[in-house]
Amino acid sequence: MTDNSDDSTPTSPVAPGLPALPADIEALSYEEAREQLIGVVSRLEAGGTSLEDSLALWERGEALARRCEEWLEGARKRLAAARKDS
């Protein structure tokens, strides 16, 4: 008997092995993700947040940084394709 249930966490097609980004972050443009990341870093640097809040901010920052990297990797691929075509 084969178990067809899939209780694993979806992974990112850009970063295999890493969990998929939350939908709200996945929908962000590079600029939006970068601005939010700057805000997260500023809040963490300012301190004064609880450990729980700091961890949540850190996790969101990691996801935002990954989203920015996805955009940059896409841009690199487009540039490489354009150079190859010319």
Backbone angles phi, psi at 29, to 5 degrees: -75, 170
Number of neighbouring beta carbons within 10 Å of residue 21:
20
pLDDT per residue over 38-78, tens digit each? Answer: 999 999 999 999 999 999 999 999 999 999 999 999 999 99
Cα(59)–Cα(53) distance, rounded to whole angstroms?
10
Could you tell me what percent of the chain has a pLDDT over 90? 71
Contact by Cβ (8 Å): 18, 12: yes
- Domain boundary assignment for the chain: 23-85
Higher-scoring residue by pLDDT: 22, 68: 68
What predicted TM-score, i.e. pTM, was given to this entire model? 0.76
Q: Quick one: pLDDT at residue 12? A: 55
Q: Would you state the structure tokens that stand for residue 56, as one six-digit string?
A: 């949540």
